[in-house]
Amino acid sequence: MAFAAVSAAQAEMADSSAAAQYIADTCLLDAPLGSVGLEMEGHCHDPADPYRRPGWDEITDVIDDLPALPSGSAVTVEPGGAVELSGPPADGPVAAIDAMNRDQAVLRSAFADAGLGLVFLGADPLRPPKRINPGARYDAMERFFAASRSGEAGAAMMTSTASIQVNLDAGPRDGWAARVRLAHALGPTMIAIAANSPVLGGEFTGWVSTRQRVWGDMDSARCGPILGASGDDPGTDWARYALKAPVMLVRHPDAAELTAVTRWVPFADWVDGRVLLGDRRPTVADLEYHLTTLFPPVRPRRWLEIRYLDSVPDAFWPAVVFTLVALLDDPAAADAAAEAVEPVATTWDTAARVGLRDRRLYEAANACVAVAAEKAPAGLSDSMQRLVRSVEQGRCPGDDFSDQVIEHGIAATVSEAARCSQGGL
């Protein structure tokens, strides 16, 4: 049976109809709600020299010597050296937050012992883009972006952005359409609430979420929202999106090698035989890999990956995570949120540019955090109250960073953030 499964995965697909059916059939898993997984990225900085980008060996030496993490998170290194903790699924947001806090404490202590700190901002405010991860995937991605119209944005995305990703169950099948619509509709409001990247490349950009601006500058066929015109069939919407998206990388079955596709080849053209890549049509394994190179703000991976939040500091992230999960998983909260964000459901650029300074986003954000605050347990009261006050004042986490930059300068502010990370939570 295992041999048959491998053979099927390596067999060339018949056509785009077969590919679309496979995507639609496998993109979401019919299951109860409740599990929450978190992935958190932090830029690795040397507090003594915040302009320096620690190297691959320097970072991986710390990771290789890590003790076992108490909650079992996986540790990986992003192309530019940002460090990511990926927690296993937990039973609800509070358990996921507690688990991430425990693993972060161990990770930060290890980096502090090496003289390094992790800075939780949506965009690296100081250093120019530079890849340090030597992995074949990232090398090929870099070549793909260099040959595309998204070269500058692609380099910044890979090496200068950081986020919090929230992974949630797809839920029962009969609720998929409404759930996916709401996950998209919440995007602009949650971007405005969590915006934390006002500086990139040593300069204020004029955007509260420069990370979201960078993603918006990418090819929309790969990074734009996948929601279709009606949003009534998430599987069909995802299949249509994936088939139109250009192929980024081709894997060679007999070698650990990746080739960047430096011309525009929609996956549909490859699977229908209009273009042959690697002198063949794609297999199911190729299709599965293609899906990993698509980066919409809400991505179906059997579960839902919510990918639109900036990385934010300790004072905010537990409340931001709880708010998003409550608004999606609690039925009463979801109904209230859907009504609150309906007027701003597609204002992605406005949210990234001006955030809560937009009146409609301000109103939607206050309604959403008020709903979530009513659901928050006592253990999250400090973080939740701080988030509620911030939103009421029309401020986002990046405003605190901006205030410090104006008073002390960018380098000094980054150094202080890195030192605070060394000191723990």
pLDDT over 80 (residue 425):
no
Q: Give the model confidence (pLDDT) of 49-82 as tens digits.
A: 999 999 999 999 999 999 999 999 999 999 999 9
CB atoms within 10 A of CB 198: 25
> Whole-angstrom Cα distance, residue 294 to residue 249?
11
Dihedral over alpha carbons 110, 116, 122, 127 (to 10 degrees): -150
Question: Is the residue at 176 inside a domain?
Answer: yes
- Hunting for tokens 């998003």 — which residue is that? 324
Question: Is the residue at 382 inside a domain?
Answer: no
Q: How many separate domains does the chain show?
A: 1
Mean pLDDT along residues 290-294: 97
Residues in Cβ contact with 246 at an 8 Å cutoff, skipping those fewer than 6 apart: 219, 221, 222, 261, 264, 265, 266, 267
Question: Is the residue at 425 inside a domain?
Answer: no
pLDDT of residue 4: 41
Distance of CA 307 to the CA centre of its chain: 3
Q: Could you tell me how many helices (H) and strands (E) the chain has, helices first?
A: 19, 12
Q: Give the model confidence (pLDDT) of 109-138 as tens digits.
A: 999 999 999 999 999 999 999 999 999 999
pLDDT over 60 (residue 362):
yes
* pTM (whole model) above 0.85: yes
Residue 159 sits in a domain of what CATH number?
3.30.590.20
Q: How many CA atoms lie within 13 A of 22 on its CB side?
A: 19
Q: Give the model confidence (pLDDT) of 147-160 as tens digits.
A: 988 889 999 999 99
pLDDT of residue 423: 74
Question: Is the residue at 67 inside a domain?
Answer: yes
Confidence of residue 9 (pLDDT cuts 50, 70, 90): low
Give, in degrees to the nearest 5, the angle at Cα 301 between 298 and 302: 120
Q: By residue range, what is the domain housing residue 307?
A: 29-185+195-272+289-326
pLDDT over 90 (residue 230):
no
- Hunting for tokens 């794609």 — which residue is that? 282
CB atoms within 10 A of CB 165: 18
pLDDT of residue 231: 66
Question: Is the residue at 366 inside a domain?
Answer: no
| Average confidence score pLDDT of the chain | 94
Q: Give the model confidence (pLDDT) of 257-287 as tens digits.
A: 899 999 999 999 999 999 999 999 999 999 9
E strand or H helix that includes residue 167: strand 163-168
> Whole-angstrom Cα distance, residue 24 to residue 236?
6
Question: Is the residue at 13 inside a domain?
Answer: no
35: tokens are: 């599990």
Question: Is the residue at 141 inside a domain?
Answer: yes
DSSP string, 262-312: -S--BHHHHHTTSS-BTTB--BHHHHHHHHHT---SEEESBSEEEEEEEP-
Question: Is the residue at 296 inside a domain?
Answer: yes
